[in-house]
Amino acid sequence: MLFKQQALLRQKLFVLGSLAIGSLLYLVARVGSLDRLQPLCPIDSRFGPRGQDEIPLRALQFKRGLLHEFRKGNATKEQIRLHNLVQQLPKAIIIGVRKGGTRALLEMLNLHPAVVKASQEIHFFDNDENYAKGIEWYRKKMPFSYPHQITIEKSPAYFITEEVPERIYKMNSSIKLLIIVREPTTRAISDYTQVLEGKERKNKTYYKFEKLAIDPNTCEVNTKYKAVRTSIYTKHLERWLKYFPIEQFHIVDGDRLITEPLPELQLVEKFLNLPPRISQYNLYFNATRGFYCLRFNIVFNKCLAGSKGRIHPEVDTSVITKLRKFFHPFNQKFYQITGRTFKWP
């Protein structure tokens, strides 16, 4: 009898404990979401005087909840007016480079409460059909944000498309431009790997990387191969410099963003005149994925898509050596132009 009473008591205590924990988690989630939905005090009162170009922080902005409804088109005009939300043209664009880490950079910058990201690649400036729809069409593709937040979009094709620099210049000649790069040979192989995976999903065959990267007639590097051409960073950058001064560009080290993201993100915060808000708390290493994941608050975490970090096929070492030798003079010129040196072989 005593044994049954003790068992019943333990069962009741377990139920009460579960209810208490559940209530606590609900309150934490509720407070976290409210913090992100309600603008707090302006940054002036917490950080002292700021530069003329520095953007006031609106605390934890609409990144989920109500803003999610706005993105889906479920919000009324009255709701938008009440929350003082607008769709703004981007004040900064990640223009490239493909397979350099553009998605990772965008998602990590979105940790900052003064940044709002365009979730999809808009392809406005590199697509003639989209560009013909006009700047208002482009603006309406942007997410809702507070007036003092900055919107960022990314379309890696911008960097290598000839018409894009002039088109962006016509929209905003003072826009800030982010370029994330990786070691050129590694980037080219990653580019190939993504295309190869797409072919395999469709049960199609594809040439080996070596056959595409090396011209079989001359045995030299094949500059007609797009993956090789994209990695000649200086050639593309020189075209952009006809319209924008180098001060409007910030070069992000994509290799370092993988292994040591925080210092790279802090440099971007400074470039964008943002108060430092991204900390080590927001980044934690996921050993299973082999990448850093993002922590927005105690409730909400996010890892990049599983397609990131694909395993590269083995490539003949002589081809890798030839490519690195080919890229070397272009890399040296890239260092000189940007003022940033990388430890590329």
Binding site listing for 3'-phosphoadenylyl sulfate: 99-103, 182, 190, 292, 308-312
> Active-site residue numbers?
99
What is the CB-side half-sphere exposure of residue 170 using CA atoms within 13 A?
A: 9
CA angle 276, 280, 59 (to 5 degrees): 40
Which residues participate in the annotated binding site?
99-103, 182, 190, 292, 308-312
Q: Beta-strand (E) ranges in 229-333? A: 249-253, 283-286, 291-295, 301-302
CA angle 234, 132, 101 (to 5 degrees): 35
CA 256 to chain centre: 14
For CA atoms 76, 80, 81, 83, the dihedral sign is: positive
Helix 233-240 / helix 317-338 crossing angle, nearest 10 deg = 30
Q: Which residues contact 271 (CB under 8 A, 6 or more apart)?
A: 176, 178, 250
On the question of a cis peptide bond just before residue 299, with omega within 30 degrees of 0, the verdict is no
DSSP strand pairing (115-117 vs 291-295): unpaired
Q: Is 89 exposed, middle or buried (0-12, 13-18, 19+ CB in 10 A)?
A: middle
CA dihedral 109, 110, 116, 122 (to 10 degrees): 80
Distance CA 277, CA 114 (A): 9
Distance CA 92, CA 178 (A): 7
Task: State how far the alpha carbon of 179 is from the alpha carbons of 34, 139, 278, 288, in Å.
Answer: 34, 22, 20, 28
Closest CA to 239 of 331, 332, 164: 164
